[in-house]
Structure 1
Amino acid sequence: MAQENCNNVVLPSMIKQRFLSKPNEVGVVAVGFAEGQQLQEDLDYKVSYDNTVHNYSDIVPTTDPDFRGMKKPLAVSAATEKLSQQVYEHARDGKFVLTLGGDHSIAIGTVSGTARAIRERLGREIAVIWVDAHADINCPETSDSGNIHGMPLAFLTGLAKEERRDIFGWENGIKAFSMHDVDKHGIGRVVEMALAHIGSDTPIHLSFDVDALDPQWAPSTGTPVRGGLTLREGDFIAECVHETGNLVAMDLVEVNPSLEIIGANETIRAGCSLVRCALGDTLL
């Protein structure tokens, strides 16, 4: 997360996040993430960690047959359950929780952990802002691939339940915007509409898949899609969510430097920029 332009002055945010009792503390949960120590050095936040790498290989079952067409359902279930507990513990302590993935299936754990903590600590329900090139709302029976990273929203909203497979997301309180809306209205208006739908007094969990950015900005990701957001548009989303004062947690997923050697650094820089904007850094 090194700052590239020495002429830019990075200023910490003066906006208080009203739902955090420890607004200057960040609980970082890294899932399948290596070489992330630079994050602590580059952020002006107290980062909580226990100096231990937790190896949960013991929770991976020796056999993991497909279920309802889903691949590795037992492994994903066990991992997201562990993750949910870790996120819950940080969020219940009043810290901002930053989870670094990992594919987007981890949101099954992160969002559920955040929701449980905020419900217990504040007696409130959270809103989720989901930024992704894909809807990730496939039900097991409608998925062509069987990959659970294409299903997290279906699980989080209950749409994946067998008795509800005929119900679509829009009937479940989901407001969706596409690149058509961004082209038609501009990113500013789209973010305004999204935040208006949530309301001004609701804790927000921002779940950001870097593949929402055009491959020009983030090529080293699992399922890049042309015609996506610019990095500036992605940063703007993160900035606006921070400016609400309601942000309690963030996921950054699908940053995978091993997939595209030439574009790896560019993707890492994009991911770092998104996180910094969500934490409130501004450039002058």
Structure 2
Amino acid sequence: MFLFNSRNIRFINICRRYYSTNRPIGVFGAPFNKGQPRPGVKYAPEALRNVNLIKNLSLMGHEVIDHGDLKFEAVPNDTAIYNIQTPRTIGKAAKQISDKVEEILRCGQTVVTLGGDHSMSVATIHGHAKVENDLAIIWIDAHPDINTPLTSASGNIHGMPLSFLTKELQPYVPKLPGFEWLKPCISVKDIAFIGVRDIDKAERYIIDKYNITTFTMRDIDKLGMECVLERTIEAINPTLNKKIHMSFDIDSLDPAFAPSTGTPVPYGLSLREGMFLVEEIALTNKVTGIDLVEINPDLGSQRDQFTTISAAAEVLYAFFGKRTKTQLPSDYVLPKP
């Protein structure tokens, strides 16, 4: 049971009062699909641009720098190991993504990475940690994605990124070719899972063994989203002295709101719950890295695809300040006749 520190809650409220959106947004696409078997996920960055994501963020009053999409190349003769297909190709792509995240952050921008599958978060968090060496991770997902290569039944790295990154799990993570550059950079105490509802046996063991902060959909139903977020911050960033990396998997939403994703799980977040969650996280004014992953424009009907892409865009708009009221530029004045 969490005990709330009134001084910390007051600090959060102060951050809300002085929340600023002046930091530029640096957006880039990571059209990568080798962390799982469904190729269409690589088309998500293009699909998000096609619904005017960049333009709409700009119209909301933000300075947005579009860094384009990375291009990835397969490594020849990339044989499987530990049931993992193309590990060298994945490792090479992850290094590119990590370097790009670091580059954008060092320009003073909040980095938004448009995936791509969730294996890319190995890289986005690693690149973020090279700039901010004490990170808090908010992982919004139907799955905890903390399997190791030896516990994963599928061998898909999109279900393993956090095991590669956490220091405590390194005795259980074998060295993979292509990942020699990757150094563990976070602790289990820095992670909070929100919205999980499909947890493998090994993942449950890891969560329990290391007492990782976890809020399932049942917890959200019972406690309410605001309480879940307060407990999340109290657990992983109580004094708000750390920067936050927010990784948002679209399958955290119920399939009614995001059907076009590779591993949908029923009884998830409503779109409004997802938007409220990111709105409240934004008010900490501590998020400097965001992942938006697992949108697959090849799956489902045209309506399914549009519904999913629109939901993903709305989540980002909500984080960056879109509300039900009209957005006004900071220098808005009433026109005179």
Alpha-carbon separation, structure 2, partners of 1:258 and 1:235: 24
Q: Distance in 2 between matches of 1:109 and 1:251?
A: 11
**Is 1:132 the equivalent of 2:132?**
no
Gaps of 5+ in 1: 1-12, 18-22, 120-124
Q: Assess, with a 3 A threshold, how the Cα gap between structure 1 residues 225 and 99 changes in structure 2: closer, same or farther.
A: same
Q: What SS does the aligned partner of 1:144 have?
A: coil
Task: Give 1:9's aligned residue.
Answer: none
**Is the 2:98–2:124 Cα contact (8 Å) retained in structure 1?**
yes
Alignment match of 1:232 (pick from 240, 256, 272): 272
Matches of 2:64 and 2:225, distance apart in 1: 31
Task: Quote the offset at 1:182 in angstroms.
Answer: 0.8
* Partner of residue 88 from structure 1, selected from 102, 105, 111: 102
Q: Of 188, 196, 221, which residue of structure 1 is paired with 2:226?
A: 188
Instruction: Decide which structure has the larger Cα Rg and report it.
Output: 2
Deviations 1:165-204 (A, max 9, x none): 9982455563111011011111121111111112223211
> CA 1:53/1:210 → structure 2, altered by over 3 Å: closer, same or farther?
closer
Aligned with residue 20 of structure 2, among 16, 20, 24: 16
Give the counterpart of 1:48 among 65, 90, 93.
65
For residues 93 and 173 of structure 1, what CA distance do their matches in structure 2 show?
A: 36
Percent identical pairs in the alignment equals 36
Match in the other structure for 1:69 = 83
Return the match for 1:271 from 312, 316, 320. Answer: 312
Q: Is residue 249 of structure 1 aligned with residue 265 of structure 2?
A: no
TM-score (norm 2): 0.72
Q: Distance in 1 between matches of 2:168 and 2:79?
A: 22
Q: Note the C-alpha offset of 1:164.
A: 6.4
CA distance in structure 1 between the aligned counterparts of 2:146 and 2:159, rounded to whole angstroms: 6
Distance 1:137 1:53 in 2: 27
| Cα displacement string for residues 139-180 of structure 1 (whole angstroms, at most 9, x for unaligned residues) | 111100000000001111145534469982455563111011
**How many residues matched?**
259
- The change in CA–CA distance for 1:279 and 1:14 in structure 2 (over 3 A counts) is farther
- 1:214 and 1:227 in contact (8 A); partners too: yes
Query: Is contact 1:159–1:169 with CA below 8 Å preserved after alignment?
Result: no
SS of 2:215's partner is coil
CA contact (8 A) 2:137 2:247 kept: yes
Query: Could you tell me which amino acid in structure 2 is paired with residue 136 of structure 1?
Result: D
Distance 2:168 2:143 in 1: 16
Q: Residue by residue, what CA displacement relative to the aligned partner does 1:67-123 show, whole Å, maximum 9, x if unpaired?
A: 22222211111101000000001112210000010010000010111111123xxxx
Q: Which amino acid aligns with 1:147?
A: N
Match of 1:6 in 2: none
Aligned equivalents of 1:164, 1:91: Cα separation in 2: 28
Residue pair 1:139, 1:151 contacting (<8 A) in 2 also: yes
Q: Which moved more, 1:215-224 or 1:110-119?
A: 110-119
Q: 2-side partners of 1:220 and 1:250: how far apart?
A: 20
**CA 1:164–1:222 in 2, change beyond 3 Å: closer, same or farther?**
closer
Correspondent of 1:177 among 190, 204, 215: 215
Q: 1:141 aligns with which of 150, 155, 174?
A: 150
CA 1:53 to 1:83, structure 2 compared with 1: closer, same or farther past 3 Å? Answer: closer
User: What's the counterpart of residue 300 of structure 2?
Assistant: 260
* Distance in 1 between residues matched to 2:207 and 2:144, nearest whole Å: 10
Residue 53 of structure 2 aligns with which residue? 39
Please report how far the alpha carbon of residue 242 of structure 1 lies from its aligned counterpart in structure 2 after TM superposition: 0.4
Are residues 159 and 149 of structure 1, via their aligned partners in 2, closer, same or farther at CA, if it must alter by over 3 Å? farther
Across the aligned residues of Structure 1 and Structure 2, the Cα RMSD in angstroms comes to 2.1
